[in-house]
Amino acid sequence: MSVLHTPVLAAEAIEWLRIRPEGAYVDATTGTAGHAAEIARRLTTGRLLAIDRDPQALQIARERLKPYDEKVVLVHAEFSRIGELQREMNMPPFDGVLADLGVSSLELDSPERGFSFRWAAPLDMRMNPDLPLTADEIVNRWSERELAELLYRKAEERDSRRIARAIVRARPIRDTEHLATVVAGVQKARGRQRLQPATKTFLALRIAVNREEEELEQFLSRTPATLSSQGRWVILTYHSLEDRQVKQAFGRLEREGSFRVLTRKVIRPSHDEIRGNPRARSAKMRVAEKISPADARPVGSPA
């Protein structure tokens, strides 16, 4: 099994970051360093802060980034701590921040991590093993009402009540395969099924276990202060709820006059990229640029 994650929209992300060799940059979700390596090799006197909450991924990233040791600082942390880390590392305002919100291949393809329904694996789903909550706790201990609300709110699962009822009746749920079977057994078929029936259930559990919604909200509120004027902010999302969070945050910052949204239409992977890396198919990239008050102009006015 290859542990190297194929970075999504890598060429596009690098282009939009507009990397200066002497600049300061952040890969807020380093993973196994697919994007980070592309940033680091373009730096001369510049620096890259590489953050990830998965210590296993950071070990691989550290090896991959060894040729750039003098330029890269790797940190095991949640990306919501970006401002705090900037101060701790004594780094200047960032010229670019990249965040790829997808689950890495390392996590998806490691059965013991419990992210996938392809194996009979522990109900874990923690990106950071130090987190207290696991999927097993939610699946086997939460009330039916709490489960239904989670599935509907975090993954827009229309069969949330039916699935929650089935999970509670089937307890104890032994592993990921058992959970997927229970969900598939009660979900209503709606036309041609494009997704495995348990996809949204697994998504909701992963979001809850890793506090993804809360972490993203804090990252979106704290990153603006860390960027330099004309600093670029590139975010890749993979499902509608997180994309909505990013779109709304960028829109609010633009209305306030502190940022300019550079991608009026989201950037998506090409058919060729999706053919070579099917996990890229749901990716959307949005880019914003920090501006000084003097550069601000009304939304919709000519460039």
Percent of all residues in the chain with a pLDDT value above 90, rounded to a whole number: 84
pLDDT tens by residue, 102-145:
987 778 888 889 898 888 999 999 999 999 999 999 999 999 99
Q: Say if pTM beats, i.e. exceeds, 0.95.
A: no
**Domain assignments of the chain as residue spans, ordered by start:** 10-106+212-295, 132-209
Tell me what pLDDT residue 1 has: 38
pLDDT tens by residue, 279-290:
899 999 999 999
CA angle 66, 69, 73 (to 5 degrees): 115
pLDDT tens by residue, 165-203:
999 999 999 999 999 999 999 977 665 556 789 999 999
Give me the half-sphere count of Cα atoms (radius 13 Å) on the Cβ side of residue 149. 6
Would you call 156 exposed, middle or buried from its count of C-beta atoms within 10 A (0-12, 13-18, 19+)? Answer: middle
Average the pLDDT over 41-52 and give the result.
98
Average the pLDDT over 260-269 and give the result.
97
CATH annotation of 10-106+212-295: 3.40.50.150
Residue 122 amino acid letter: P
Taking alpha carbons only, the member of 21, 26, 14 closest to residue 42 is 21
Average the pLDDT over 43-49 and give the result.
98
Q: Which CATH superfamily is domain 132-209 in?
A: Putative methyltransferase TM0872, insert domain (1.10.150.170)
Rounded-to-integer distance, Cα 69 and Cα 275, Å: 34
Instruction: Report whether pLDDT(293) > 90.
Output: no
Tell me what pLDDT residue 303 has: 37
